Amino acid sequence: MKPLLIFTSLAFALPAALPAQQAPEHAPDGGTHQQMQSVVIAPIPNAPFSSVVVTEWTHILPDGSKQTTWNHRIVARDSSGRVFQERRYFSPTGKTTPTPLSKLQYDDPNRHERILCDPPRAVIAQSGPQRSSETCSLFPYEPVIQPETPNPTLPALVTLPNKTTIQREDLGRQSIEGVDALGSREITTIPAGLIGNEKAQPIVKEFWYSPRLGINIVTKRFDPRVSSIQNITLTQINLGEPDPKLFTPAPDAHIERQDR
């Protein structure tokens, strides 16, 4: 029994005998941040709809494994061309579970205004938990003018002056969520050395475009420059007139006009 008792006492005594170690100091680190724009919704009049956009974002890690996150968010456009979009963070469970809001965006092409709002947050008051009002910034907004008829013919292969090539392929047409869509695939190949790359880099994009709505209902992207695969799909498409309340901030929102 004596050896066991000696061993036990030593085991408890050793950590106290070791000197405390501290991590070396360093200055603050800026870090890296990535953003992704999933779908572009132009302020087209007389093409109302509402939808839930589901975005799948997969990062290919250095060891070849994958990290996938999702979000889903509400978007809408009314007959006057006003556009509303939720902006939400990504999460591993974001495909089925709503992730936190980052912004609420209201575009009004008739008033030439864009309003970006921070979502309401819970605050603790003396009377208990309460919901804060939205804090919003109003910016001048000049919408991109959409051509009455998009260019129906694009060359199958284009070579740019820097030797980058763009190859296009017709994928036919299909009905998605009850909406007629035209499919195409676009492969942009960056030649070796142009951006410091050792090998030619193909960027592959696939689109299913709705002429009626003027938006891509499905977008698939593979971009080796950021080791990223992105799949964006408009789901639960409703072609009726959305609720007018979607297109204005809450009545108690605090809105500050910005010069830029």
pLDDT tens-place values along the chain, 260 residues long: 444 343 333 334 445 555 667 888 888 877 666 667 789 999 999 999 999 999 999 999 989 999 999 999 999 999 999 999 999 999 999 988 999 999 999 999 999 999 999 988 754 445 444 456 789 999 999 887 665 555 556 789 999 999 999 999 999 999 999 999 999 999 999 999 999 999 999 999 999 999 999 999 999 999 988 889 999 999 999 999 999 999 999 988 889 998 76
R_g of the chain computed on alpha carbons:
26
The SS3 call for residue 51 is strand
Domains present along the chain, CATH in parentheses = 49-257 (2.50.20)
Tokens of 242: 């959305």
Q: Of 186, 119, 109, 116, which Cα lies nearest the Cα of 143?
A: 109
From the centroid of its chain, how far is CA 89? 8
What are the strands, taking DSSP E only, across the chain? Answer: 49-60, 66-77, 83-88, 101-108, 113-118, 122-125, 128-131, 135-140, 157-159, 165-176, 179-190, 201-210, 215-223, 228-238, 254-257
